[in-house]
Amino acid sequence: MTRCYMINLIMLFAFFRFAADFLIIYIEEAHASDGWAFKNHIAIKRHQTLKDRMQAAQVLLKENPSCPVVVDTMENLSSSKYAALPERLYVLQKGNILYKGGVGPWNYHPEEVREVLEKLL
């Protein structure tokens, strides 16, 4: 998740914290340094163990995301269920999907989440 996206999400967290619960699920690394990596990207290798994934999530936690961060299972259950790789936004209410964002980073639109949350209020 890029810094720009994180800033947009932090603003959403701040504005809607009284009306919604937010959660970040850290999934498998989309651009692992020992796989298909970008230049000037944070060097995180493919997660071989849950401990690797938890250590990689620490990089995200250093950004102070303002909401809980959990890690996906090594079987990638959350990523598979929600088609989240490399990143995706959802709004859920009582177990129902109200909003399913496009696959990030190109179709990642926090402002759409804002619109959905505003309609719910």
Strands 96-100 and 90-93: antiparallel
Q: Give alpha helix (H) positions in the chain.
A: 3-16, 50-61, 77-82, 110-120
How far is Cα 97 from Cα 94, in angstroms, rounded to an integer?
9
Summarize pLDDT for 85-119 with one digit per residue, the tens.
Answer: 778 899 999 989 999 999 877 888 888 999 999 99
Q: What is the CATH number of domain 3-120?
A: 3.40.30.10
Check whether the bond before 86 is cis (ω within 30° of 0).
yes
Give the Cα separation of 105 and 73 in Å (integer).
Answer: 22
**pLDDT tens digits for range 12-65:** 888 898 889 999 898 877 655 555 545 556 667 787 899 988 988 888 788 777
Q: Judge whether residue 74 has pLDDT over 70.
A: yes
Which pLDDT does position 32 carry in this prediction? 57
**CA-to-CA distance for 7 and 85, rounded, in angstroms?**
20
